[in-house]
Structure formats: structure tokens, C-alpha cells
Amino acid sequence: MLRAQVMRHPYPLIFATVSGAHLYGFPSADSDCDLRGAHILPAREMLGLDISHETIEVSARREGLELDLVTHDAKKFFGLMLKRNGYVLEQLLSPLVVHTTPEHEELKTLAAGCITRHHSHHYLGFAATQWKLFEKETPRRVKPLLYVYRVLLTGIHLMRTGRVEANLVKLNEEFRLPYVPELIARKVEGAEKSALLDAQLAFHQSEYERLTKELEAASESSHLPEQTSSRPGLNELLIRLRS
């Protein structure tokens, strides 16, 4: 079903993978299926005054499942890879592959040279946004809280190892936070709006602040480079894709 949705794309795809809750390890029965990828616009469409279709978004419902497909043109996607954008690297390196090509494998190799210690800013900012969302809702839901923990642990792991890991279940094999399995179980087994008691807020706020400081410290001590090194390789690949 996912492949059929991807094959309807109007442009050739470099890759399409599953992102979102399925990638993060805590999909519930009513979770959307988020497909992400990169497509190749023909050179003719890039030469005019107005460039369209740099981003294509398609939503559909198949067999009771909500599918959300978002892809960027190769130039835009490569540009995002060269910024401190952990989100696109998670999409590119997702093990849940729906469509792949030799260029996808080439991109995954080039991704290593796109990672810098400044990617910590992406994860710190994303965690802060999710924490604000968690705080302001009534009742407070498990979902945004899981995103907070997933993002912070991904960031810390990346700073320490240089490897992108977006699955919270796998991350917690390293971090061993005792409350994470329970939160995941509540999200997976219950409704999307599974709520927490107000009495639990103080504990999770303390953990959010602790892990934020841990990510900041991991960034400061990281051996990751200051600058990306994959720009020439990405440029050469883009030229080949357009030829």
C-alpha cells in the first residue's frame, strides 16, 4: 500500500521512507503514516523564472490509514542536509525504506559529512517547542512528552557517537530511563490523547531540564566537526541527477 502511494508520485524519487511515530518507535492504532523523501525535478523546470514543485505534499486515506507523503526536490533536500537540520537526516537514514535507488545509498554515505556538533541546536529547539506544547495542553498528553524525550536522546546520542538514531525504544537501551517504557505503552495501547496527571508534571519537568543540560554538555564536549564536508559531493551528485 505504501509503495503504491509512492509510485503515484509525479516525479522520479531518490528515496521514500517512513518517518514520524512509526520511526520513533511509538505508533498507536490511529497514528498517521508519514512518508518522506526526495524527488528530482527535470532541468527544464529549474530554468524558468518561477520554480514550482520544489516541495510536494500529498495526503490520502487507504484502508483506514491516513497517509501523508512529503518530498523535496533534490536541490532543496541537499541544501537542508547542509544545514543543522537533524530532521532530514532522520528521514534519509530511516531504516523503514519504501523506495530506494543507488543515489539514496550515495546520499546516506554523504550524510556522515553533514553532521556537525551544531546539530545540537536543532534538537534543543525542537525539544523546547514540544515541551511548551506539552505544558500548555489540558489535559497533558503523553504524545508531546514522548517527542521531548525522543528528541533529547537522539541529540545526545548524535553528539556522543556521530550516528543518527531516531527510535526511542533503541535509544532507551542505552539511556535506560525507567519511565520511558511505560509512556510508550500508554501511547501505543491507548488513544492518541492519552493523558498524564498534573502531579507528574514536576518530575517530567525536572527530567526535561536535566536532559537538556546533558545535551548541551554533550555538544560542548563533542568531537564532531564544526563544519560540513559533503558540499562538493552533494553538488556533484546533483549535477548528475539533473543531467
Give the tens place of pLDDT for each residue, 12-51: 999 999 999 999 999 988 788 999 999 999 988 888 778 8
In the chain, where does DSSP find H-type helix? 2-7, 20-24, 43-47, 74-81, 86-92, 102-111, 119-136, 142-161, 168-175, 180-189, 201-221, 231-242
Q: Where are the domains of the chain?
A: 2-115+229-242, 119-221
For the cut 80, the answer to whether the pLDDT of residue 80 exceeds it is yes
Q: Which residue has the cell 553538488?
A: 235
Across residues 88-99, what is the average pLDDT?
A: 98
For the cut 80, the answer to whether the pLDDT of residue 88 exceeds it is yes
- Answer for the pair 122, 85: CB distance below 8 angstroms, yes or no: yes
Q: Return the pLDDT at 29.
A: 82
- Answer for the pair 5, 67: CB distance below 8 angstroms, yes or no: yes
* Confidence grade of residue 243 (pLDDT, cut at 50, 70, 90): confident
Q: Return the pLDDT at 69.
A: 95
Quick one: CA dihedral 82, 155, 16, 11, positive or negative?
negative
β pairing state of 13-19 and 97-99:
antiparallel
Across residues 108-128, what is the average pLDDT?
A: 97
Return the C-alpha cell found at 102: 543507488
pLDDT tens-digit series, residues 150-209: 999 999 999 999 999 999 999 999 999 999 999 999 888 876 556 787 778 999 999 999
Q: Return the pLDDT at 191.
A: 61
- What is the residue-averaged pLDDT of the chain? 93
Q: Return the pLDDT at 60.
A: 87
CATH of 2-115+229-242, one of 3.90.960.10, 3.30.460.10, 1.10.1200.10, 1.10.150.120: 3.30.460.10
Across residues 45-71, what is the average pLDDT?
A: 87
| Percentage of residues in the chain having pLDDT higher than 70 | 98
Closest CA to 69 of 41, 34, 30: 34
